[in-house]
Each structure stands twice: as C-alpha cells, then as structure tokens.
Amino acid sequence: MQRKEKNNNFYMAFCDDRFKINRISVTFIDRLEKEKNTLNALFPMVLIRGNNKYKDMKEINRFLDNMYGATLSIDVDKKGDLQAISFAISFLNDRFAGENLYTKALQFLHDIIYGPIKYGGGFEEDAILQEKNNLKQEIESRINDKVQYAIDRCIEIMFEGQNYALYEKGNVDDLQTITKEKLFSQYQEVITKKPMYVFVYGDYDEEWATSKALEIFGEEKRESIHNDFFVNIPFENTRYVTEEMEVNQGKIALGIRTNVDVTSEDYYKLLMLNGILGASPKSKLFENVREKASLCYYVFSRIDRFKSVMIISSGIEIENYEKALNLILQQIEDIKNGKIDDIEYESAINYYKTALMAIYDSPRDLLSFYLNQALVGQIIEPKEVFENLKNVNIEDIKRIANRFELDTVYFLKNRGVAKDGKDL
Amino acid sequence: MERIYDDALNEEIYINSYSNGLKAFVIKKKNFSKAFAGFATKYGSVDSKFVHPKTKEVVEVPDGIAHFLEHKLFEEEEGNVFDRFAKFGAMANAFTSFKETVYYFISTQNFYENFEILLDFVQNPYFTDQNVEKEKGIIGQEIRMYQDNPNWRVYFNLLNALYVNNPVKIDIAGTLESIQKITKEDLYLCYNTFYHPSNMIIVVCGDVDPKKVFDTIERMEKTKEYQSLIERIYPDEPEEVNQKKIEARLSVAVPIFYVGFKDNQNDLPPYEMIMKDIQTQIMAEMLFGKSTDFYEKLYKEGLINQNFGFEYNCEPEYSFFMIGGESKDPEEVYRRIIEHIEDVKKKGIDREEFERAKKVVLGSHLRKFDNPEKLSVEFIYSYFKGVNIFEYVKEIASVSFEMCEKRLKEFFDESLSCISIVWPAG
C-alpha cells in the first residue's frame, strides 16, 4: 500500500495482479447540511452529462465503451454528519486490453470532475433541468424499497432537526430553489476546497500509480472537516411511531443509541455485540425471531459507525407487531444479562473473520473500507480489525449492552384494509 | 482429474467425474483469501412435473417446492446446520432459481472442514411434519416481502405476459396457497429424485488444493449407484405472447416497466446457443446501449433515466429479452423501442458500432472472473444448460458483423413483444 497525505488530500494505491478489472475512486467530503445536501447530490449528475471536452453523454459513454466497457459511477453517501460525493471508474487490466488504460482512465475521471472549469464553461441549462427531474424521481423512489425506507424513516424521526436526519440525496423542495449559479458555485467549492480522497487499485507499480494520480489531481490546500460521532441530544423517552402505506408486510425498525465512542477500543466490543445480536448466521435475532418463532424471513442489526447508532430491522405480519417487538427486545435484554453461549460468540467472531478477510478480494470493498477508516481517522487493515475483535470477552459485551438506549421504534403498516397490490 | 489452463484468460480449472454421475470442478484462484464452494442440483422452480425415475409414474407437485426444499435442507435433527458452519467460520446460504438450487458457503479459513459440512448436510435430509409446518411461516413472510417489491412484481408480471404455459412464469417461492399444500412426503419424493449425484455438480473456486477437494468428495459421497436421466415434463408453449400488456399498482413514485421479447428459437445445440446468446447481447448493446443515439435521445426527452437497462436470458426451454426501467410514460418508450428496431432493420447496422459493442460485451464477460461467487454461479448456470462459461470469452471474438445482421432480422419481432407496467398506487 502506498499512501500520501498532504493538505487534506489523500492518495492511496494498492497493487495486485489477481484481478481483471482495476478501479480508481475520487471522493470529496463536505458537511451534510440542509443548505447544500441537495446541491451536492445534483452536481455529479450534471457532470456526467458532459462538458466541452466530452460534449454529451453519448461521447462519455463512447469513451467508456472503447475502454472495453469501462464503467463510470457516481455516488452520494451519508457518513455521519458528512456527505461523501464519489466518482469511480472501473476498467480492464492492461494485460487483457493489450494497452495501457490507467493514465487514460485517470485523465478521463479528472476531465469529468473538473471539465466544466477546465474546458471553460458552466453547466448547461437543459442538463440541470433534466437532472433535477431525475433526482426528484430518485428521492421520491425511496418508497420502492420498503426495507430501506423503514430504516431511513426511523433515523429521520430519531434525529429530527439534526443534520444526520437529512437524506444524502437531498430533498424535493430544495430542488425547486436551485439556480444555475448556486449549483456551479457549490460545485466549485467542493471540488477545489473540500477534502479529497483519491484511491487506486490496479495491476501497477504503487509508486508509479500514485505519482501519476498526483500529477493529474494535484494536492492544493484543502479545508479540514471533522465528524461528530455522537448523538448529541439528551435521551428522554422511547418514541413509538407508526406510519401507513400500501404494503403487504409490516416493517419494523428500531433505532438504538449505543453511547459508544466509535473511535475508541469500545467500538470493537460494540461490533462483537452486533455480531451476536443480529449480524452473524447464528445471531440471537435470527435464531429466536426467525428460526424458533417463525415470525419473519429477515431480521438483522447493523451499526452506523459514523453516528454510534444501531438499527434493527425486520419484516413481519402486521398483527405480530407486539410479539415481534417484545422478542427483539428480549434478545437485547439477554445480552445485557450476559446470556451469550459459546456458539453465538464463536459464530460472531467467525463471521467477522470471513467478512473482513473477504474485503481483500474485492478492490471495490477495499477502497470503501479504507475510505471509512480514513474518515474515522484511524487507518488500520481489515486483519487488524479482526485482531482487535479477538480480545473482546462476554463481560465487555454485557457492559456495552447496558449503555444502550432504545430511542425510536418505527413501524410501517398497511393502510386501512389490507390491499394486495392487485394486478389491474 | 483433468486440468484445463486457459492462457488468454489466465484461468485454471480442474475437473473430476465420479462413478455415480457426479461432476466436480475446481476453479483455481491463486492468492485469494476467500474460497467459494457450491453444491448444486439441476432442480428449480420450473421442475414441478416429471416422470419418477424408478416408478416411471408422472408426478406433479405444488408450486414452490424446490425453494421449500432449499429452506428445509438446512434443518438437522440436532438443530440446524448453521451451528456447524458457525464453528468453522463459513457464511453459508442457498438460493433457488428457475432451473437450479445451489447450496454454498464462503470461507476464509478452515475450508476443508466447512466443505465436509456442505457435502454432509446436502446429502442428509431431515424433514418432519412439525418442521415443515414451521417453515410455512417463514416462507410466507418471504413471499409477502416480494409482493411489496415492485421490481419483482414487474418482472414476474412480464413473464406472465410473455408465456402462456411455460412454468418460468410462476413465482419461484410459489404462492401463499401452494406452499400450504406441501408435505414432508412431497419433499422426500423431490429430494430423492433431484438430489441424485447424477443430477448435481460441485464447484469450488479459490486458492485450494484440487486433489484434496476431489478426494474429500470421493470419501463423502453417499450414493454409489447410478440413476437414469430424469424426464421433466414441460407443457407445450405457443409461439405467441400470452398478453400484450399487464399492469399493476404498488407504492412506487414513478412507473416501472419492462418490455419483453419472446425468443422461440430454443433447444439449440450448446455451441449454437452460445453464439445466439453473444450475438443477441451485441445487438442489444448496439440498439439500446448507453452510447447509442437512441439512449441519448430518450434520456434527453426525459423518457428514461440512468436505471434504463436490458438483459437477455437464454435457456434451452425458454429465451427472452427484456428492457426497461423507470419512465413517466412507459407506453411511449415501448412505442419508441419498436419504432427504433424497425428503423435499424431498414437502415442496417454500423460496423464501428459493432466493434464497440463487441468490446463492451467482452469487458462485461471478463468482469465475471474477478468475483469467485459470481463466477461459480455463472459457471453452474452455464453448465446446466450444457455450455462452459470459459468458452464465451473465446467465442465473442469469432462473432462477425454478418452474424449480427442476421440475428437482428430474426429477432426483436414486434408481434412477439409485450409490456409490463407497475403504476404508482393511489
């Protein structure tokens, strides 16, 4: 691994000859705030509509096609109170392409991101208008995936009024107020002033790959932005919220404040707890809510490292709400009382070992793993994470569980009489 | 043990055959940390009517039984098999598709211990009236979950519009009603028929020792005698589509749609099937790919967005092409697709576009080799339809411009197309 850090520019390169596809990713980090989250979600969509070098989408896509079907992807993500705006290209290893594609891919990505400035010009009015419409559709389409929708709503309710409640892709009302000028100025601000992470994975010499990336992307001074990992409002009572939609299956989502400093050693204890509760194949939730009580098909727990929050999610028969909720809460109680058997513990540790070691086999996963590490301010390898997990004992887990506060219970149920989404 | 090294792909594969008809494959992936092992049977949701290999009687079982069996095989007298995998740190799972059921694990440690567990549990069914009943609750929730999934709905509705009789149109998990009918006896009957080694393969992908893998299989194989081929009964399928249009309402923001084209040129010899598959993929890329004028125009008109895409399914019993995504006006997109095809058929295709499309298709096939799970699953799919995934990359180069011209003339027929739409509810 080759790593260069200066002026809040991060460069990392990984060399490996096992893969047929290489990857370059460029991520900018901004604060997740109401005034700009929609702008930050919109500008990447406008960027891939073209600039003066690649005048439209067709030219961009022809370039990619000629790179043996390279793919360009943009992504906007929430990392605690931060918004991550990413551009990535994956392209064929030179050995199979028979030509050097790395410099071409790097330059292309730079042209896409900096094109409107470099090739003299702002954004095209039509492209903005259309991408506004596409983004509107995307935001509204959140209801299509009911599992994720219930989780998102739970977080929104839990963090009402705080930045973390904001949706990473923005909101429809703010879209209306976006002007060409506002968008361009926010775009410029992000790509020239905000922290930048350039990560490269490929069948190349690491030093050479880093120097090429540096040559093209540079390292001008950028702002530094810090994350707040905690839920910073006092806990009062558990909130119970029920909403209705036309669904066949009820979705339950629990938002738990873990009160764990995720930059401390306690994070690993929390991870183990999560494995035992609802992440591993023999987790308490899976065993007791699904296998024994036959109440659901899926049930899991998940940690958002950037905000010390745990989410539990399941899909259940609507009339089984109370039963399922009680059974889920019982599993947490059991952990609080240290009721953890060997197989549950072993399953969790083994689950993490496999999951962490598997990261090495996917350039995409590895790059995103390191980005998250960098954002938390601790760059350690997947195998080191595992080493830390091995030291966690039952007492540690029990102690962590006793810090839990159940903040929000969200339930999505059917509207009035059960409608079956009947075919017309 | 046979070894094949593909120089162009830089991939190595080992093959072993057993006297009871089982075949095993090891795709060697040097220096990978994880290994995948899959135990697959050529048995999926479409196989609900067949001739029993021993009694020679025609048997018909409830819809969703292959999937039900998949769930139940994880159960053991002592609990469930996850206990054993958990001990050795594997992530085990299974899936059922139209034509196959695959049990697998991924591990980064204790590969051979985990492998033995896989071989053992797939060969040891344990069904009781009680555990079969219990599973109906879980699968019932799985079915309900999919009912709320608009992408699933629009997909199966399309298959229902394309096919009159072919069982590919039936939901893989069956229905809330059909699973109620499933009994322990049905499960044993299907298990004993379709889980015979002669109907199964094992695929391992990772940095493992092929000889040790093959020896473990030899040692663990329970069934020794050979079974004759299973005769599967498929209903006759008319050439035409079942209905031109199918619609539903669900909680979605923007209408979701698929346009389907029925391909009646099925049951081809393996090589011809590969060629048909590749030609269709290249044609589709040339007609509807992201670098086409067609895509650009519809996108700019706001008729489609980045979710617009297509896929081609090519099997000996059924083949279909589907294209779609989200649109405020799905019917207009359908009209444009048909109009565009007619236009290209008239004007002919472009050589430069053909070369570019070929590169895209080549790249997308090469991509599959980087992920042991995806590669193994692709391998299984192809193997059961009688072709080898390694052949695809070689054959892409041999596809000519003229072949694609011919394919365009034969396929993408308006009269064999239909549309499935999910409209926003309320």
Q: Could you report the predicted ipTM of this complex, rounded to two decimals?
A: 0.90
Across the strands, what pairs with A12?
A3, A199
Residue with tokens 């598997």: A358
The CA distance from B69 to the nearest CA of chain A, in Å, is 16
Q: Which helix (H) or strand (E) holds A183?
A: helix A180-193
Point out the residue among A58, A62, A297 whose CB comes nearest to the CB of B142: A297
Residue B228 confidence (pLDDT)? 82
User: Could A137 and B372 be called an inter-chain contact, meaning their C-beta atoms sit closer than 8 Å?
Assistant: no
* Cβ–Cβ < 8 Å for A288, A245: no
Of the listed ranges A114-118, B82-86, B376-380, the least confidently predicted one is B82-86
* pLDDT (0 to 100) of residue A418: 42
Q: What band does A423 get if pLDDT is binned at 50, 70 and 90?
A: low
What residue has token string 């219930």? Answer: A150
Range B191-214 average pLDDT: 96
What does the block give as tokens for B19?
Answer: 């006297």
Average pLDDT, integer, range B178-193: 95
- B165 or A228, which is more confident: B165
Query: What's the pLDDT band for A419 if we cut at 50, 70, 90?
Result: very low
Among candidate residues B405, B398, B382, the one with its CA nearest the CA of residue B286: B405
**Rounded to an integer, what distance in angstroms lies between the CA atom of residue A141 and that of residue A77?**
16
Q: Report the greatest alpha carbon distance in chain B.
A: 67
Q: State pLDDT tens for residues A262-316.
A: 899 999 999 999 999 999 989 999 999 999 999 999 999 999 989 999 999 999 9
Inter-chain touch A69–B91, beta carbons under 8 Å: no
- Res A23 pLDDT > 70: yes
- pLDDT tens string A172-225: 999 999 999 999 999 999 999 999 999 999 999 999 999 999 999 999 999 999
Q: What is the mean pLDDT of residues B312-334?
A: 96
Minimum mean pLDDT range among A70-74, A420-424, B64-68, B205-209: A420-424
Q: If pLDDT is split at 50, 70 and 90, which confidence band does A416 have? A: low
Other CB atoms within 10 Å distance of the CB of residue A424: 10
Rounded-to-integer distance, Cα A334 and Cα A16, Å: 45
| B177 φ/ψ angles, rounded to the nearest 5 degrees | -75, -50
Average pLDDT, chain A: 94
Q: What is the pLDDT of residues B247-305, one digit of tens each?
A: 999 989 999 999 999 999 998 999 999 999 999 999 999 999 999 999 999 999 999 99
Query: Regarding the domain delimited by B245-424, which CATH topology (the fold level of the hierarchy) does it fall under?
Result: Cytochrome Bc1 Complex; Chain A, domain 1 (3.30.830)
DSSP letters, A107-131, are HHHHHHHHHHHHTT----HHHHHHH
Cα–Cα distance for residue pair A67/B85, rounded to 1 Å: 42
Q: For residue A18, which residues of chain B lie inside 8 Å, CB to CB?
A: 29-32
Q: Are strands B245-250 and B417-424 parallel, antiparallel or unpaired?
A: parallel
Round to whole Å and give the CA distance between A150 and A316.
13
Write down the H helix ranges in B47-172: 65-72, 82-88, 111-122, 129-147, 150-162
Please count the residue pairs, one from chain A and one from chain B, whose beta carbons lie less than 8 angstroms apart.
Answer: 202
Q: What is the pLDDT of residue B296?
A: 94
3-state secondary structure of A354: helix
Taking only residues 289 to 348 of chain B, the set having a beta carbon closer than 8 angstroms to any beta carbon of chain A reads 289-293, 295-296, 299-300, 302, 305-306, 326
Question: What mean pLDDT is predicted for residues A376-387?
Answer: 93
User: What pLDDT score was predicted for residue A420?
Assistant: 45
> What percent of chain B shows pLDDT beyond 70?
100
Residue among B140, B151, B247 whose CB faces A424 most closely: B247
What separation in angstroms does the CA of A192 have from each of A196, A234, A302?
9, 37, 34
- The C-alpha atoms of residue B160 and residue B169 are separated, in whole angstroms, by 5
Domains of chain A: 2-217 (3.30.830.10), 239-414 (3.30.830.10)
What pLDDT shows up at residue B381?
A: 95
SS3 A390: helix
Q: Do B109 and A249 touch (CB under 8 A)?
A: no
Give the bridge partners for A31, in sequence order: A82
What is the distance in angstroms between the Cα of A10 and the nearest Cα belonging to chain B? 27
Q: Among residues of chain A, what percentage have pLDDT more than 70?
A: 98
Q: What is the mean pLDDT of chain B?
A: 94
Spatial separation of the C-alpha atoms in residues B269 and A121, rounded to whole Å: 56
Count of all residues that appear for chain A in the document: 424
Q: What is the pTM of this model?
A: 0.93
Secondary structure E strands in B143-221:
200-206
Inter-chain touch B151–A144, beta carbons under 8 Å: yes
pLDDT of res. B367 = 92
Measured between CA atoms, the residue of chain B closest to residue A90 is: B367
Spatial strand order in the sheet of B91-96: B2-6, B11-17, B23-28, B200-206, B35-41, B101-107, B91-96
Domain with CATH 3.30.830.10 in chain B: 2-232, 245-424
What does the alpha-carbon distance between residue A299 and residue A320 come to, in Å, rounded to a whole number?
Answer: 14
Q: How far is A155 from chain B (nearest CA, A)?
A: 21
How would you label B2-25 residue by residue, b for 16+ Cβ within 10 Å and e otherwise?
eeeeeeebebebbebebebbbebb
- H-helix or E-strand containing A328? helix A321-336
Contact A424 B153 (CB under 8 A): no
Q: At what angle do helices A102-118 and A37-47 cross, to 10 degrees?
A: 120
- Nearest CB to A361; choose among B32, B290, B299: B32
Would you call B141 an interface residue with chain A, using a CB distance cutoff of 8 Å? yes
Contact A66 B356 (CB under 8 A): yes
B92-113 tens-digit pLDDT? 999 999 999 999 999 999 999 9
B49: enclosing H helix or E strand: strand B49-51
Determine the distance in angstroms separating the CA of A49 from the nearest CA of chain B, rounded to an integer. Answer: 10
Contact A294 B107 (CB under 8 A): no
Please report which residue ranges of B261-307 form alpha helices under DSSP H: 270-288, 293-300
Catalytic positions of B, written as ranges = 70
CB contact under 8 A, A95 and B86: no
CATH of the domain spanning B2-232:
3.30.830.10
Name the pLDDT band for A424 (thresholds 50, 70, 90).
Answer: low
CA distance A283 to A287: 6
Distance from CA of B52 to the nearest CA of A (A): 32
Mutate to test the interface with A, among B107, B108, B135, B307 (most CBs of A within 10 A): B108
Residue A7, Ramachandran bin (φ over 0: left; ψ between -120 and 50: alpha; else beta): left
Beta bridge partners of A200: A13, A24
